[in-house]
Amino acid sequence: MSTTFLYNSSAISTQSDLITNGFLKNLVPIEKSKTLVEPDYKNFIKPMMIRRMSKATKMSIACAFKCLQDSGEEQPDAIIVGTGLGSLADTEKFLKVSTSIEKKILPPTSFIQSGHNTIAGQIALLLINDCYNMTHVQQALSFEHALLDSMLSISEGKKLVLTGAVDEHTPLLDDLANRFGINEDTKDQLSEGAGYFVLGPNRSKANAEIVSTSISNYDSLTDSISSFLRDNELSDRDIEKGFIAFSLSDKFPVDLDFELLCYSDYSGRHFSSSAFGLHIANRYIQEYNMNDKYVLIINVASNNKLGLILLKGV
């Protein structure tokens, strides 16, 4: 597989802004009264279009356009998005209408906008881009699948790939958490957000190199991570910093020789939070000048699934 470089990243989350200087120093742990810090969408989308868009679509467009602008790029050769739930609010709306209307024609808008691929499609429509467009839906590992697809696309010769992930939060998720008896600490961290990245093969434009991405089952986190590092001819002592999805506990024991920061304590928990993990790792490399140093993003998903992204400063 060809070398993939990360040119720029942006994120919409519960933190201060899409991208700011001193980002890491200003991180605030998420609380029950969390609110998403959203940009002024009118800077990216025409006002008449905003009211017809779901929050997931608005977040994605703003985040993707900001990332392209900061990279000095206009047209990607591919748009690849990962999402666990897609436009959940529009899906709910469509289902409610379909069960309440009797012997009448269903309005098509909610159905059209409820598709998971609506998000990537809207970005392409606004960019007037007819290149490769793909949406990956694999629950908490959706972003890792999108990233693997992006790396393969660059290996096939694409010069600029816009890659991202997004998931939105609705009251339905809180209701489901109550029904399934999810513990209070987890419920308090249920959140939403988006993260987008401009990727390509050109080292001179890059902040970091995406060395490897892995999706696997695991029995032992420590053994799986160590095996992944060995496959890349590294050991845990070569890793400067690790960014993990969930707070360390007896459920997720890790015994490795590098410092871990729990990024979900700052982004909250949603299916696309590993995109925020990659964003925060990229900002760490930038702010601390981590040239030729390695960092690792660890996404501990449900059902013993594990997503790993190895990043190297350039």
Say whether both 308 and 193 belong to one domain.
no
Say whether both 192 and 280 belong to one domain.
no
Per-residue confidence band for 93, with pLDDT thresholds at 50, 70 and 90: confident
Q: What confidence score (pLDDT) does residue 268 get?
A: 84
The CATH number given to whatever domain includes residue 147 is 3.40.47.10
Inter-CA distances, 207 with 34, 77, 85, 198, 202, Å: 30, 20, 30, 11, 11
Say whether both 51 and 168 belong to one domain.
yes
C-alpha span between 193 and 60 (Å, rounded): 9
Phi-psi region at 103: left, alpha or beta (left = phi > 0; alpha = psi -120 to 50): left
Residue pLDDT, tens place only, 266-305: 888 888 899 999 999 999 998 888 888 999 999 987 768 8
CA–chain centroid gap for 163, Å, is: 9
Give 231 or 84, the one with higher predicted confidence. Answer: 231
216, 205, 77, 194: which is closest to 145 by C-alpha? 216
Say whether both 227 and 171 belong to one domain.
no
Say whether both 193 and 216 belong to one domain.
no
Strand partners, 196: 10, 164
Q: What confidence score (pLDDT) does residue 165 get?
A: 95
Residue pLDDT, tens place only, 143-198: 999 999 999 999 999 999 999 999 988 777 777 777 776 766 777 778 889 999 99
Say whether both 60 and 172 belong to one domain.
yes
Residue pLDDT, tens place only, 24-42: 777 888 876 577 888 888 8
Say whether both 242 and 263 belong to one domain.
yes
Domain edge (last residue) among 152, 186, 205: 205
Task: Tell me which residue has tokens 């890792």.
Answer: 144
Domain edge (last residue) among 138, 173, 205: 205
- Whether 135 shows a pLDDT value over 90: the answer reads yes
Say whether both 103 and 252 belong to one domain.
no
Domain edge (last residue) among 205, 231, 260: 205
Say whether both 109 and 12 belong to one domain.
yes
Residues of the domain holding 103: 4-205
Inter-CA distances, 134 with 144, 148, 171, 241, Å: 13, 12, 28, 31
| Cβ density class 166-198: b for 16+ within 10 Å, e for less | bbbbbeebeeebeeeeeeeeeebbbbbbbbbbb
Cβ burial, residue 131 (10 Å; 0-12/13-18/19+): middle
Structural domain count, the chain: 2
Q: Residue type at 306? A: L
Say whether both 107 and 15 belong to one domain.
yes
Q: Residue type at 95? A: L
